[in-house]
Structure 1
Amino acid sequence: MFDIVSLLLPFFGLILIGYIAGKVTKQPADALGWMNTFIIYAALPALFFKLVSRTPFEDLTRIDFIATDLAATYSIFIALFAIGRWIRGNSLADCTIQSFAGAYGNIGYMGPGLALLALGQAAAVPVALIVCLENALHFIVAPALMAAAGDDRRSAGRLAIDITRKVAFHPFILSTAFGFVAAAFHIDQPAAFQHFVDYLAQAAAPCALFAMGVTLALRPVRRIPAEIGYIVLAKLIVHPIVVYLALTAIGGFEPVWIYAAVLLAALPTATNVFVIGQQYGVWKERASATILITTALSVVTVSLFLIAIKSGFLPA
């Protein structure tokens, strides 16, 4: 148990420090803008490039792994969408945000820090693959469904161009693609460049977790969704279990890859879910409440999954 606490204390401790700082200093939300810019455009891309470029290329081409992980994640998405649409009778737009709330974890900000801290450098490749390819698919699915719901007024051609541009030029995707090229062609990186990338990458997890805590502090809970009960259950419990069962059923993966995928699936709802809701004016206050609630509860649930992994309760 002490080992689990020592792993999680710096992780959730940074979120707590950010949350307290946000509450105490009373800085406006705009004050966080440059830090988020640094995280998204410099620190995290440097981390992903570092992880991918220094990995044997054959490990980067495990299509079976990422396909299984995506199938498991979107099985949760589809199940929640069906519940919202045909059992609760919610609109298509509401169902889209609800489904993302239960299937889109905070893998970008929280994933690399937690997985590398808990599992070591061997978790680097599965983390990079999941973060980049899941985000790419989310960037495609969200606007496509919102367009189907009538909440996106762009023409089909303009929508396709905008989605392609967002995916192709996202810093996470670009940095991972450059990492693939460096690994595939065995490009030697100058020592000075490697030190620079390492320096940026070391700042990724602390800055991202602190910024997340501040963001949570600046989003008060105004409206708790009626769907919160089953969304929390789906995101924090069912999602990681489904990912675990899918990967172990397919087989042929290193245990650390399975555990990395499980930990990323166990993470709370991504802050991007609120951004999507705000962009389309749909379910935004309830999305904010869901992020805060799942993040608070994930202290317990992530700890339980870590205990299960470390104790051998989840054999891989």
Structure 2
Amino acid sequence: MLDVFNLVLPFFGLIFLGFFVAKVKHQPLEALGWMNTFIVYVALPALFFQILSKTPVAELTQWGFIIGCTASTLLIFMAMFVVAFVRTRRIDESTIQGLAAAYGNIGYMGPALAILAFGAPAAVPVALIFCFDNTLHFVMAPLMMALSGNDKRSPRDLAAGVLKKIFGHPFIIATIFGVGAAITGLEPPVAVDRMIDFLARAAAPCALFAMGATLALRPLRRVPKELYLIVPLKLVVQPVLIYCVLRLAGDFPPVWVYTAMLMAALPTATNVFVIAQQYGVWVERASSSVLATTLFSIVTLTLWLYAMTHGLVR
């Protein structure tokens, strides 16, 4: 168990450090702007490029794995959406609740934690899950908001906006370039490669610190009743579901299955709050979902990692 704690605690330690510093220094949330820009537009794209450019091309076409993971995420989204819609009869609120239950922190926490836990072979499934899960969320959010009447754009503008979000996202661009480098065997010059390595190493610490600071500056003022369903769905049900689906979908290496479960067990992404804020729907409760799932994931992620690294999940 000690080895699992040694793996998990540095991650949550960085989140706590960001939380603590933000509480002590009393900086406004806007002060994180440039740090978030560095993380999203520079450091994490460098990490994804580095991972994918060194990946055998055959491993990037595991369609059974891709469909199984994406379908599992969609099922969790739809389950929470239906429950929320039955109660509220509002598509927009139900969409944010569905995202809170299904959209994990696969960008900030996923890559470094998975690679540290399971080694370099985890890099490819991480990249595949990230790419296709993000594409799913980029499509679902504006589509459902358009159906609710909250997004007033024409179908043409809506489709253009979705495509721009997908293909204009720094992570997706880095993924495309990384796959291109893997196919062509192109290697950057030594100086550029070293710079990419520096940036990739900075990605996880900066992202986790910024996440902690963001949580501190968006405190949990009340516990919405929806969290009693969102928290177990996100942290327990989703990893169990993805395990069952992948076992049915094909014979994948254990590292791929464990990586998919770990990515599914991550807490709600801060992007859910950003989407809620963008549409002015369920904003405070979206922030509460991010904080609550992050706190509870300290326990659940530790238990999942223990189970996976000690042969309790086969």
Same fold by TM (over 0.5)?
Answer: yes
Provide the residue aligned with 1:146 in structure 2: 145
Q: Deviations over 1:245-286 (max 9, x none)?
A: 111222221111111110010001110110111111100100
Contact 2:65/2:250 (<8 A) preserved? no
Task: Return the alpha-carbon distance in structure 1 between the equivalents of residues 233 and 60 of structure 2.
Answer: 29
Shift of 1:193: 1.8
Q: Percent of aligned pairs with the same residue?
A: 55
- Please state whether the residue corresponding to 1:108 is helix, strand or coil: coil
Provide the residue aligned with 1:11 in structure 2: 11
Contact 1:11/1:113 (<8 A) preserved? no
- Please state whether the residue corresponding to 1:289 is helix, strand or coil: helix
Provide the residue aligned with 2:283 in structure 1: 284
Shift of 1:225: 1.7
Q: Deviations over 1:276-300 (max 9, x none)?
A: 1111110010010111011000000
Shift of 1:89: 3.4
Task: Return the alpha-carbon distance in structure 2 between the equivalents of residues 61 and 196 of structure 1.
Answer: 29
CA RMSD of aligned residues (A): 0.9
Task: Return the alpha-carbon distance in structure 2 between the equivalents of residues 11 and 215 of structure 1.
Answer: 15
Task: Return the alpha-carbon distance in structure 2 between the equivalents of residues 221 and 311 of structure 1.
Answer: 35
Contact 1:35/1:211 (<8 A) preserved? yes
- Please state whether the residue corresponding to 1:211 is helix, strand or coil: helix
Provide the residue aligned with 1:123 in structure 2: 122
Provide the residue aligned with 1:240 in structure 2: 239
Provide the residue aligned with 2:156 in structure 1: 157
Q: Which moved more, 1:180-189 or 1:255-264?
A: 180-189
How many residues were matched structurally?
Answer: 314
Task: Return the alpha-carbon distance in structure 2 between the equivalents of residues 110 and 29 of structure 1.
Answer: 20
Shift of 1:98: 0.4
Contact 1:236/1:266 (<8 A) preserved? yes
Task: Return the alpha-carbon distance in structure 2 between the equivalents of residues 281 and 188 of structure 1.
Answer: 45
TM-score, normalisation: structure 1: 0.98
TM-score, normalisation: structure 2: 0.98
Task: Return the alpha-carbon distance in structure 1 between the equivalents of residues 4 and 177 of structure 2.
Answer: 34
Task: Return the alpha-carbon distance in structure 2 between the equivalents of residues 73 and 136 of structure 1.
Answer: 12
After the TM superposition, which parts of structure 1 deviate over 2 Å for at least 4 consecutive aligned residues?
none
Shift of 1:85: 1.4
Contact 2:88/2:94 (<8 A) preserved? no
Provide the residue aligned with 1:32 in structure 2: 32
Shift of 1:100: 0.4
Task: Return the alpha-carbon distance in structure 2 between the equivalents of residues 297 and 212 of structure 1.
Answer: 15
Task: Return the alpha-carbon distance in structure 1 between the equivalents of residues 81 and 29 of structure 2.
Answer: 31
Provide the residue aligned with 1:167 in structure 2: 166
Change (3 A) 1:222 1:90: farther
Q: Deviations over 1:20-74 (max 9, x none)?
A: 0111100001110000000000000000000000010011111111111000111
| 2:271 is the alignment partner of 1:269 | no
Contact 1:93/1:146 (<8 A) preserved? yes
Contact 1:55/1:183 (<8 A) preserved? yes
Contact 1:223/1:285 (<8 A) preserved? no
Task: Return the alpha-carbon distance in structure 2 between the equivalents of residues 266 and 90 of structure 1.
Answer: 28
Shift of 1:131: 1.0
Provide the residue aligned with 1:219 in structure 2: 218
| 2:81 is the alignment partner of 1:94 | no
